[in-house]
A = this chain, B = another copy of it.
């Protein structure tokens, strides 16, 4: 019931080409051919990647003559980050537990003198 949007977002982020496209777009708008240039793949392949990013809401496109400039949309990235952030507490707790364990071991080591 939750997360069909997260499905699309994480799936879109799972491809290195698409992450590179997003990284490029973080520097500003770009056209399809500009985005396609650095990659060793055909233009339709890049257009497909852009369609995936667009359907995930990560990219939106304008119209400028025959160009279709793409720009980054940050909202889904925020949602994904928010989902991951729910695990921050767990991480913190884990590291706390680890710290506590290390403290115990250190204390035991000092007291018992083993090793």
Contacts and interface: CB of A to CB of B under 8 A. Distances in A.
Contacts of A16: 2-4, 6-7
A84 B81 contact: yes
A111 interface: no
A15 interface: yes
B10 A13 contact: yes
A72 interface: yes
Given A3-B19, A6-B19, A19-B3, A87 B26 contact: yes
Interface residues of A, number: 30
B2 A7 contact: no
Interface in A23-51: 23, 26
Nearest to A89: B26
A11 interface: yes
Contacts of A90: 26, 72, 74
